[in-house]
């Protein structure tokens, strides 16, 4: 398959530039709704020593306040983990983050999928904790429908999900029983579209710049068989990983004490993180 370099290939993500390479993210939605910039940080921006954490957080927190920005620390696990008696380095890291966080006067989002490992000191300082329940079949169907609507808006007359394919994905027991998360649903749709585009070209469609079908070519129709092949491949891979590790992802997370995906947490989206 040829990779599209023209920038014209369709991306399932609601946030431009993501996954082209999550359904809309909470912090990005809040930033847009408030009409305030989003300042997103990772561990690489902050560092992993007590001194660098204090210095970098001071810099970024000051910038966030000056710009009136929504501040995000993504995958903040390393800063939130429980302190241990013999791990002085980690304890210093957590303490440094706590000190700076307490004096921040803006809107701060911290993301983690290892809630069970959070230090108690953070638990008492979080003003609002938003949990994401495990996806039910109905929630997954809503995500599929959201991606289909996005595809229709952005690629009307170019890419079409066939009626039988839509019915298969949204209503068949075969798909309902496959426990995909939001990212996996996105990937499955994009892969099915790629297969349909490739077969359209093989069948005589025009090849545009970068390997994507040209605007003058026939409509690319994503059929039921495209989804069947993609979902079967995904299911086989999940089964293989589970067989090797003897537990699925949900069971492993619970055994490690990271989280309990079966617990009722009062929110409804899923484990796409």
User: Quick one: angle between helices 137-155 and 163-171, nearest 10?
Assistant: 150
Per-residue pLDDT, 256? 58
Give the number of other Cβ atoms within 10 Å of residue 36's Cβ. 16
| Residue 71 or 13, more confident | 71
Q: Left if phi > 0, otherwise alpha if psi is -120 to 50, otherwise beta: which for 17?
A: left
146 with 205, same domain: the answer is yes
**For residue 6, is it within any domain?**
no
Asked whether residue 118 falls in the same domain as residue 142, the answer is: no
Q: How confident is the model at residue 185 (pLDDT cuts 50, 70, 90)?
A: very high
* Domain-located, residue 131: no
Q: Do 184 and 89 have their domain in common? A: no
Do residues 141 and 230 share a domain? Answer: yes
pLDDT at position 9: 58
pLDDT on residue 225: 96
75 vs 161, more confident: 161
Domain count, the chain: 2
114 and 147 belong to one structural domain: no
In a domain, 3, yes or no: no
Q: In whole angstroms, what is the distance from residue 53 CA to residue 43 CA?
A: 9
**Mean pLDDT over each residue of the chain, to the nearest integer:** 78
At 249, the pLDDT band (50, 70, 90 cuts) reads: low
Stretch 40-55: mean pLDDT: 86
pLDDT in the model for residue 74? 86
CB contact at 8 A, 100 and 58: yes
- In sequence order, what E strands does 11-162 have? 38-41, 70-73, 107-110, 159-161
Distances in Å between the Cα of 51 and the Cα atoms of 28, 56, 58, 91, 122 are: 29, 9, 11, 13, 20
**The pLDDT of residue 206 is above 60:** no
What's 88's domain CATH number?
A: 3.40.50.300
Statement to judge: residues 245 and 192 lie in one domain: yes
pLDDT tier at 262, thresholds 50, 70, 90: low
pLDDT for res 148: 95
Point out the least confidently predicted range of 19-23, 96-100, 174-178, 235-239: 19-23
Residue 214: which CATH number?
1.10.8.60
CA distance 217 to 198: 13
Residue 56 lies in a domain: yes
Question: Domain end: 123, 155, 186, which one?
Answer: 123
Dihedral pair phi/psi, residue 109, rounded to 5°: -110, 130
Angle between helices 182-202 and 224-245 (to 10 degrees): 130
Of 18-27, 156-165, 203-212, 250-259, the range with the lowest mean pLDDT is 18-27
Give dist(CA 5, CA 210) in Å, integer: 5
- Higher per-residue pLDDT: 115 or 215: 115
Domain boundary among 92, 123, 154: 123
Q: Identify whether 199 is part of a domain.
A: yes
| Rounded distance between C-alpha atoms, residue 205 and residue 200, angstroms | 5
The verdict on 80 and 151 lying in the same domain is no
**Per-residue pLDDT tens over the stretch 78-125:** 788 777 777 777 778 888 888 888 888 889 988 887 777 778 888 788
Query: Which residues neighbour 223 within 8 Å (Cβ) at sequence distance 6 or greater?
Result: 162, 164, 165, 196
The answer to whether position 64 is within a domain reads yes
Percent pLDDT > 70 in the chain is: 75
C-alpha separations of 35 from 11, 28, 60, 105 in Å = 24, 10, 19, 18
Domain that holds residue 75: 26-123
Amino acid 259: pLDDT: 59
Interval 122-167: pLDDT, tens: 878 888 877 777 788 999 999 999 999 999 998 888 999 999 999 9
The CA distance from 247 to 187, in Å, is 23
Last residue of a domain, one of 123, 156, 189: 123
């Amino acid at each position: 398959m040829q990779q599209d370099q023209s920038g014209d290939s369709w991306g399932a993500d609601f946030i431009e530039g993501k996954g082209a390479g999550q359904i809309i993210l909470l912090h990005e939605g809040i930033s847009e709704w408030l009409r305030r910039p989003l300042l997103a940080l990772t561990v690489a921006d902050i560092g992993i020593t007590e001194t660098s954490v204090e210095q970098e957080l001071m810099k970024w927190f000051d910038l966030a306040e000056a710009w009136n920005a929504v501040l995000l620390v993504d995958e903040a696990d390393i800063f939130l983990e429980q302190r241990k008696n013999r791990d002085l380095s980690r304890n210093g890291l957590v303490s440094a983050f706590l000190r700076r966080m307490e004096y921040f006067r803006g809107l701060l989002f911290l993301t983690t999928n290892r809630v069970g490992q959070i230090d108690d000191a953070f638990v008492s300082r979080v003003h609002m904790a938003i949990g994401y329940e495990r996806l039910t079949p109905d929630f997954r169907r809503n995500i599929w429908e959201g991606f289909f609507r996005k595809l229709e808006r952005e690629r009307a007359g170019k890419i079409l999900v066939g009626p039988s394919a839509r019915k298969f994905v949204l209503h068949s027991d075969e798909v309902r029983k496959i426990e995909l998360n939001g990212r996996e649903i996105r990937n499955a749709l994009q892969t099915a579209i790629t297969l349909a585009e490739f077969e359209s070209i093989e069948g005589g469609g025009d090849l545009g710049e970068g390997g994507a079908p040209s605007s003058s070519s026939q409509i690319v129709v994503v059929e039921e068989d495209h989804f069947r092949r993609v979902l079967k491949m995904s299911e086989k891979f999940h089964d293989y990983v589970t067989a090797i590790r003897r537990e699925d992802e949900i069971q492993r997370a619970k055994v490690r004490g990271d989280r309990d995906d079966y617990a009722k947490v009062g929110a409804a989206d899923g484990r796409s993180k």
